[in-house]
């Protein structure tokens, strides 16, 4: 049976600057205990207010599951029906953690300093602020590939998900992490995998790039038999090709997700490359 994708309000409980350019923001809502699951990489969308709004205008939630809407997407039709001047900015995030005792979910905001709506809102967030939330939903859950030693690779946007994957790996799985950040000050402590883990930080201000670091890696990747890769779309595609075509990992052993697109936002229409990406990802789905 199909499920309606949940749409709800969330309220800020606390804000912590965990690095100079990353704000960790706590949210609560009465609905959270029924929405959040004990699994890694739970993705959701946050709806941010437009200029002049104190809270965003949300699409009406779907009243009932619809057999003709297996992925619960009718909310998006309602979202697009909101006049553009009033339609909230919508951005995707990953749940970093959920404290069931406090009923508080934390989400990390990367503060790019570019004046984008999510960066601007995150830099000014205060306790009591209210946003809209769409998801998360188990409809979009993808199991981690089985592995003895797993490569996790991503940029700042992927670090919350990488942390949850590290926490979720079974006892027999070790991990090696390649993480790209702007500079050394943006490094943060990551959990250790149950089977042990190594972390290599890649700094853009020193000319480093995630793709080059993984391509040029030597013994660090010995024994890697699966990978989880996320971040900027073109970098993720390049890494997936490298891992499948050059390092000979099975396609099904490489889980990948493009979280953002260089020079484009989620407000922009998908490109032909984006559509090809989505089709390829769907073809690899279990």
Please report which confidence band the pLDDT of residue 65 belongs to, taking 50, 70 and 90 as the band edges. low
State the average pLDDT for the chain. Answer: 88
Ordered by where they begin, the domains of the chain are 7-139 (2.40.30.10), 149-280 (3.40.50.80)
pLDDT tens digits, 188-243 = 999 999 999 999 999 999 999 999 999 999 999 999 999 999 999 999 999 999 99
pLDDT for 269:
46
Could you tell me whether strands 89-99 and 43-48 are parallel, antiparallel, or unpaired per DSSP bridges? Answer: antiparallel
pLDDT at 33 over 50: yes
pLDDT tens digits, 46-56 = 999 998 999 99
pLDDT at 101 over 50: yes
pLDDT tens digits, 121-148 = 999 999 999 999 999 988 778 889 999 9
pLDDT at 83 over 90: yes
pLDDT at 174 over 70: yes
For 153-164, what is the mean pLDDT? 97
pLDDT for 5:
75
Using alpha carbons, list the distances in angstroms from residue 204 to 23, 44, 213, 230.
20, 27, 11, 17
Please report which confidence band the pLDDT of residue 66 belongs to, taking 50, 70 and 90 as the band edges. low
pLDDT at 104 over 90: yes
Q: How far is CA 259 from the centre of its chain?
A: 6
pLDDT for 6:
86
Could you tell me whether strands 104-110 and 89-99 are parallel, antiparallel, or unpaired per DSSP bridges? Answer: antiparallel
pLDDT for 82:
93
Residue 162 phi, psi (nearest 5): -60, -45
Higher pLDDT among residues 276 and 261, named by residue = 261
Please provide the DSSP assignment of 139-192 as one string. GG--PPPP-SEEEEEE-GGGHHHHHHHHHHS-TT-EEEEEEEESSGGG----PP
Q: What percent of the chain has pLDDT over 70?
A: 85
pLDDT at 270 over 90: no
pLDDT at 178 over 70: yes
pLDDT at 263 over 70: no
User: How far is it, in rounded angstroms, from Cα 241 to Cα 160?
Assistant: 24
For 164-185, what is the mean pLDDT? 96
pLDDT at 41 over 90: yes
- Ramachandran region, residue 66 (left: φ > 0; alpha: ψ -120 to 50; beta: rest): beta
pLDDT for 72:
53
């Amino acid at each position: 049976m199909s499920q309606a994708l949940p749409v709800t309000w969330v309220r800020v409980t606390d804000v912590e600057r965990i690095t100079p350019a990353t704000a960790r923001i706590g949210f609560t809502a009465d609905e959270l205990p029924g929405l959040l699951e004990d699994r890694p990489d739970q993705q959701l969308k946050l709806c941010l207010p437009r200029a002049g709004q104190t809270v965003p205008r949300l699409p009406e939630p779907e009243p009932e599951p619809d057999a003709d809407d297996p992925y619960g997407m009718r909310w998006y039709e309602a979202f697009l029906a909101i006049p553009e001047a009033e339609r909230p900015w919508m951005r995707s995030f990953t749940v970093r953690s959920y404290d069931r005792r406090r009923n508080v979910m934390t989400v990390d905001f990367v503060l790019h300093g570019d004046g984008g709506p999510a960066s601007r809102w995150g830099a000014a967030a205060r306790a009591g602020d209210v946003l809209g939330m769409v998801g998360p939903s188990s409809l979009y859950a993808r199991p981690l590939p089985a592995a003895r030693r797993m490569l996790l690779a991503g940029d700042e946007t992927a670090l919350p998900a990488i942390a949850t994957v590290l926490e979720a790996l079974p006892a027999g799985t070790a991990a090696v992490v390649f993480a790209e950040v702007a500079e050394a000050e943006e490094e943060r402590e990551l959990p250790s995998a149950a089977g042990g883990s190594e972390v290599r930080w890649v700094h853009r201000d020193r000319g480093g790039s995630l793709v080059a670091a993984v391509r040029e890696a030597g013994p660090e990747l010995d024994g890697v038999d699966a990978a989880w890769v996320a971040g900027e779309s073109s970098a993720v595609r390049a890494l997936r090709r490298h891992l499948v075509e050059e390092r000979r990992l099975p396609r099904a052993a490489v889980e990948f997700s493009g979280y953002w697109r260089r020079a484009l936002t989620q407000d922009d229409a998908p490109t032909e490359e984006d559509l090809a990406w989505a089709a390829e990802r769907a073809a690899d789905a279990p």
